[in-house]
């Protein structure tokens, strides 16, 4: 092996050795619904990490239509396989759209946080809102789960990630629910604002 080849091998080994994983556990909002994966906010956020020379790899295990119960069914395997430093938790919207009891959604989210922390990961919880189909009381109870859990579990809380785009023309797909490709960089930037301090402090 010549000197150049050795340097390449050492560089690759160093990158692999020191790279850290960030697990994204979400639903269609994080799964680049109805668009190429590379246009989704998770991939855009990865580009931001790369541009800032931060040795983190985003592992996107988001599934369209997933619920908090679905997340519980698969988080243990993901934690074991990827051993993430950080978990970005973006679940609950589908539970709310199906009218699941808010206390049950909260219970499942709490368990997802606990399992992540037990595995040694920090958690950021990304909050969601839902239409008022089930009335204001249900909608408020649903949303309040997120800040309440953030305070209870002492974790960073990302306010409604679609806040700046939900009512802006061209930012939401024709289904009226999912963000468009145009909105993805805005979502990535919002998540980045809350994620960066965690990464810098690590």
pLDDT digits (tens, 9 = 90+) for 40-64: 999 999 999 999 999 999 999 999 9
User: Can you say how many angstroms the Cα of residue 30 is from the centroid of all Cα atoms in its chain?
Assistant: 7
- Active-site entry in 5, 53, 154, 175: 175
Query: Tokens in use for 163?
Result: 């806040």
Which ranges constitute the DSSP H helices of the chain?
Answer: 3-18, 41-51, 68-82, 93-97, 102-118, 136-153, 184-201
Query: Tokens in use for 84?
Result: 């993430």
Domain ranges, ordered by start, for the chain: 30-201
Mean pLDDT of 23-44: 95
Order of strands across the sheet that contains 20-26: 56-60, 20-26, 86-90, 122-126, 157-158
Q: Mark whether 28 is an active-site residue.
A: yes
pLDDT digits (tens, 9 = 90+) for 122-169: 999 999 999 999 999 999 999 999 999 999 999 999 999 888 787 788
Q: How confident is the model at residue 176 (pLDDT cuts 50, 70, 90)?
A: confident
pTM for this prediction: 0.89
Q: Mark whether 175 is an active-site residue.
A: yes
- Active-site entry in 27, 28, 95, 116: 28
Examine the pLDDT at 18 and tell me if it is beyond 70.
no
Question: Options 3.40.640.10, 3.40.50.300, 3.40.50.1110, 3.20.20.70; which CATH number does 30-201 get?
Answer: 3.40.50.1110
Which of helix, strand or coil describes residue 115? helix
Q: Mark whether 5 is an active-site residue.
A: no
């Amino acid at each position: 092996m010549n000197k150049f080849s050795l340097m390449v091998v050492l560089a690759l080994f160093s990158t692999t050795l020191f790279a850290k994983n960030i697990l994204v556990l979400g639903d269609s909002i994080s799964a680049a619904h109805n668009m190429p994966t590379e246009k989704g906010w998770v991939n855009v956020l990865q580009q931001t990490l790369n541009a800032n020379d931060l040795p983190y790899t985003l592992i996107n295990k988001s599934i369209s239509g997933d619920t908090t119960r679905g997340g519980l069914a698969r988080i243990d395997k993901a934690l074991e396989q990827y051993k993430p430093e950080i978990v970005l938790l973006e679940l609950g919207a589908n539970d709310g759209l199906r009218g699941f009891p808010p206390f049950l959604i909260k219970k499942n989210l709490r368990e997802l946080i606990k399992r992540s922390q037990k595995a040694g990961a920090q958690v950021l919880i990304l909050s969601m809102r839902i239409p008022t189909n089930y009335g204001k009381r249900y909608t408020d109870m649903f949303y309040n789960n997120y800040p309440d859990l953030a305070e209870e579990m002492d974790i960073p809380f990302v306010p409604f990630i679609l806040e700046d785009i939900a009512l802006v023309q061209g930012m939401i797909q024709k289904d009226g629910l999912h963000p468009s490709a145009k909105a993805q960089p805005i979502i990535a930037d919002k998540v980045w604002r809350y994620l960066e301090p965690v990464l810098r402090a690590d």
